[in-house]
Structure 1
Amino acid sequence: MAEITGESPLASRTELLAETSVPGSLDIGEIPFLTQVTLRVAPEGAAAARVADTLGAPLPGPGTSAVAGDLLVLWMGPDEWLVVGEQGRAPDVEEALHKALDGEHGAVVDVSGQRTVVEIAGPRSEEFLNKGCSLDLHPSSFGPGRCAQTLLARTEATLLRRHGATPVFWVLVRSSFARHLADWSADAAAEYGEGAVLA
């Protein structure tokens, strides 16, 4: 398997994001080069059932995600899911999903280079994200495992709330818009920085 070479979409913003983060309140950083594989298949039928068996978890419904072993599966549309895993897993995931489709109508495409992931964590993460996103991110409306395609800082993104006691969100953003999102984040987080008064 060939190794990934080159820079991640936010390599030039790593220091900026580190400086933007506020210990104990808000932590922002890139998780680069994750495996991302798009799956298209009719949700009802033998092929979808075989995919679920292969993944070890049912395909999630609208607005949700599922943990499938060491993979995450995000609902992206009525017949579309995004399978996310550690770097370098794409060939194995593609092969397993193609085998599960078994020639039936569907599609499996490696889109790992299309997006990067920005992780936003900490007690202020909901408030921070709502500066540029209109979704209600309160846990009662957007709890752990929820995902949605939305606009964040006028940028198309997929937002996922991870499981855990402390709020943690993944923002899956197209590589070509990632630097814009990082620059917006630095500006939007300025009020939480050193010397700021946090209510």
Structure 2
Amino acid sequence: MADLSTLRRSPLTHLADRMAAASAEGTVSLSEVPFLGMVSLRVDPSVPVAAVLGAPPPAGCGQTTGTGDLQILWLGPDEWLVVTTNDPVALVDQLDAALGADPGLALDVSANRTVIELTGPQARTVLEKGCPVDLHPRSFGPGRAVMTTLARVPVLLWQTDDNHYRLLPRSSFAEYVARWLLDAMQEFTT
């Protein structure tokens, strides 16, 4: 049987060259980080899943926890998105085992979203053109993630470092978001 992973195609493969060409080193850059593992975790916060995740799930709105290859983003009082570079199916199995008889759900949702990375000193300015969240460092900084909209499209916006943002739109909206960002970057890249 053929290796099915060779058939896998990210939502923005066809725009990779355009995003690279539109990026301006040291100003603003746009790229896709395809095929990250994503696990939706719904569980009572008192259930001990920290041993599996390597960190406790964040306790409040906009918070993130985790280290290295596994990050946990708060989506609601009993809902998190776990983003990982590891195998999401194995992670789901480990979380299911940790849940035991406790009510909860761990589900691989990796194909649901893609990750668009916007970096550089002008990244925040580009986002501010179409995002209603106050992105000033006094309100939103590294380690924060919120559900919001960008150009009227729902996205999960995550600031991973100074001048480094990850946008997680649904795969069906990824092209629209990427093209909107390309347009919003033009004043800095032409």
Q: Distance in 1 between matches of 2:171 and 2:178?
A: 11
Counterpart residue type for residue 152 of structure 2: R
Q: Is the 8 A contact 2:28 2:189 kept in 1?
A: no
In the alignment, the residues of structure 2 paired with residue 124 and residue 51 of structure 1 have an alpha-carbon distance, to the nearest angstrom, of 38
2:40: which partner in 1?
A: 38
Deviations 1:6-64 (A, max 9, x none): 21000111112112211110010000010000000012x2x2xx201221211102211
The corresponding residue for 1:197 is: none
- Superposition deviation, residue 89 in structure 1: 1.2
1:91-106 to 2 correspondences below 5 Å: 91-106=89-104
Find the aligned partners of 2:4 and 2:94 in 1 and give their Cα distance: 19
Residue matched to 1:176:
172
In the alignment, residue 180 of structure 2 is paired with which amino acid? Answer: W
> What is the correspondence of 1:26-65 to structure 2 with a 5 Å cutoff?
26-43=28-45, 45=46, 47=47, 50-60=48-58, 61-65=60-64
1:82 aligns to 2:81 (yes or no): yes
* Pick aligned residue for 1:126 from 111, 117, 124: 124
C-alpha displacement of 1:95: 1.1
Change (3 A) 1:134 1:122: same
Q: For each residue in 1:135-173, what CA deviation from the matched residue of structure 2 results, as whole angstroms up to 9, or x when unmatched?
A: 11122211110110000011100000113xx41000001
TM-score (normalised: structure 2): 0.93
Q: Provide the residue aligned with 2:160 in structure 1.
A: 162
Identity %: 43
Alignment of 1:181-192 (within 5 A): 181-192=177-188
Residue pair 1:55, 1:68 contacting (<8 A) in 2 also? no
Give, as a single letter, the amino acid of the residue that structure 2 aligns with 1:191: E
Show CA shifts across 1:90-126 (max 9, x none): 1121011111111210011100000000000000011
Is the alpha carbon distance of 1:187 and 1:69 closer, same or farther for their aligned partners in structure 2, counting shifts above 3 Å? closer
Contact 2:145 2:156 in 1 (8 A): yes
The 2-side partners of 1:160 and 1:122 are apart by 15
Distance 1:16 1:68 in 2: 32
Question: For 1:12-23, what aligned pairs fall within 5 Å after superposition?
Answer: 12-23=14-25
Between the aligned partners of 2:55 and 2:67, the Cα distance in structure 1 is: 5
Tell me how far 1:68 sits from its aligned partner: 3.9
Do the aligned residues in 1 keep the contact of 2:53 with 2:66 (CA within 8 Å)?
Answer: no
User: 8 Å contact 1:114–1:175 — kept in the other structure?
Assistant: yes
